[in-house]
């Protein structure tokens, strides 16, 4: 019988290790959300199913050590250090903060990332086509997506005159550099974009209130562990303030946001393909980073009605999902 051994790491967090010679490969997974969050469960489930479809069966030829950071930068750092010390065959990370911590923790263990922002600009890989080093994966968010958000909101709220992008700089310190080119996006020069920071739940109401002081504003919520963890409060506060909100993930719309326009989260299953190839001998340096080609639009009609907005039939026709 194969036996799992639990080794303590320098951070005091146990990591799965397996007796040598068992033929079982080890994959560590760092998930940005909390273990109780359905969104986090869905993401991990896609990765696990993808690996199973490729013949990697837990308890037979695969052991997965999945840990949830709960949106905490401190926890993310601890888990990255623990995984590096445990030296699994592959580390899978979700989100840019986790990728940054893993990049600092190891330059040798193969890493597959999902939903990371500008990995070239942040210095984690050499190029999308030839990543170099030990890291490859699947990108998601870029400034063009924010431009698309504004275009979608203007279809619903043509009088839109200003926008706030809200994030937690402890998780996403690179957003100021990414958002700066917004004023050069075609057709959006008449919608100034302000980047505002919130770092704890008490800041949410303040940022939303400041945005709502001027008429015809909106709230843009990019990928950020803090944002996703507090999505229900953000969505309800924006609705109470009369602000149209568009976000990255459908989970925000299910929590009451007006719209989401996001990459297809099927890349969690796609990431399983890269893990499979690495376990079979491929080098991350030779696997190109893939950018999203499919996007999903979700609209909450109940929120639109409460905001007094009319969603054009042409926009409804293009939506992947409509919540009534």
> Which helix (H) or strand (E) segment is 305 a member of?
helix 301-306
Give the 3-state secondary structure of residue 246.
strand
Condensed to tens digits (0 to 9), the pLDDT of residues 181-218 reads 665 665 565 788 889 999 999 999 999 999 999 999 99
Q: Count of CB atoms within 10 A of residue 104's CB?
A: 13
Architecture category of domain 4-141+264-286 in CATH: 3-Layer(aba) Sandwich (3.40)
Task: Write the pLDDT tens digit of every residue in 225-236.
Answer: 889 889 999 999
Question: What are the boundaries of each domain within the chain?
Answer: 4-141+264-286, 143-263+295-323
**6 dihedral zone (left: phi>0; alpha: psi -120 to 50; beta):** beta
Q: How far apart are CA 263 and CA 94, in angstroms?
A: 14
d(CA 323, CA 153): 17
Element (H, E) at 278: helix 267-279
Q: Which residues of 243-273 are buried (b: 16+ CB within 10 A; e: fewer)?
A: bbbbbbbbbbbbbbbbbbbbbebebbbbbbb
Using the structure block, give the residue that is written with the tokens 């993808």.
50
List CB contacts of 9: < 8 A, sequence separation 6 or more. 15, 81, 82, 85, 86
Is 4-141+264-286's fold the same as 143-263+295-323's?
yes
Rounded to whole angstroms, the Cα distance separating 312 from 153 reads 11
Calculate the CA dihedral of residues 172, 175, 177, 179 and round it to 10 degrees.
Answer: 180
Return d(Cα 173, Cα 168) in angstroms, integer: 8
Strand residue runs (E) in the chain: 4-8, 14-18, 25-31, 62-68, 90-94, 111-116, 135-139, 162-167, 193-197, 217-221, 245-247, 259-263, 295-300, 321-323
Beta strands in 84-156 (DSSP E): 90-94, 111-116, 135-139
Strand partners, 28: 65, 91
Beta carbons of 89 and 53 less than 8 angstroms apart: no
Domain boundaries 143-263+295-323, CATH class: alpha beta
**Low-confidence residues of the chain, pLDDT below 50?**
1-12, 14-16, 18-21
**pLDDT for position 117:** 84
């Amino acid at each position: 019988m194969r036996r799992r051994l639990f080794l303590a790491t320098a951070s005091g967090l146990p990591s799965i290790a397996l007796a040598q010679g068992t033929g079982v490969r080890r994959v560590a997974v760092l998930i940005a959300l909390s273990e109780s969050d359905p969104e986090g469960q869905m993401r991990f489930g896609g990765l696990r199913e993808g690996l199973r479809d490729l013949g990697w069966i837990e308890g037979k030829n695969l052991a997965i050590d999945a840990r949830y950071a709960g949106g905490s930068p401190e926890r993310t750092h601890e888990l990255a250090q623990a995984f590096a010390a445990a030296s699994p065959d592959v580390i899978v990370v979700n989100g840019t903060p986790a990728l940054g911590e893993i990049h600092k923790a190891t330059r040798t263990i193969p890493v597959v990332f999902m939903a990371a922002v500008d990995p070239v600009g942040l210095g984690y890989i050499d190029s999308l086509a030839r990543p170099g080093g030990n890291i490859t994966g699947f990108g998601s968010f870029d400034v063009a997506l924010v431009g698309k958000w504004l275009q979608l909101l203007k279809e619903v709220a043509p009088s839109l005159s200003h926008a706030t992008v809200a994030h937690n700089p402890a998780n996403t310190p690179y957003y100021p550099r990414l958002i700066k080119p917004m004023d050069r996006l075609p057709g959006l020069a008449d919608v100034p974009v302000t980047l505002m920071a919130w770092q704890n739940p008490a800041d949410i109401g303040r940022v939303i209130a400041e945005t709502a002081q001027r008429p015809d504003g909106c709230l843009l919520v990019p990928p950020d562990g803090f944002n996703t963890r507090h999505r229900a409060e953000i969505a309800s506060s924006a609705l109470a303030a009369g602000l149209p909100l568009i976000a990255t993930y459908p989970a925000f719309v299910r929590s009451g946001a007006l719209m989401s326009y996001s990459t297809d989260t099927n890349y969690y299953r796609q990431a399983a393909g890269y893990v499979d190839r690495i376990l079979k001998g491929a080098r991350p340096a030779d696997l190109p980073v893939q950018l999203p080609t499919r996007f999903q639009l979700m609209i909450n009609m109940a929120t639109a009605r409460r905001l007094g907005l009319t969603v054009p039939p042409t926009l409804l026709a293009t939506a992947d999902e409509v919540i009534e």
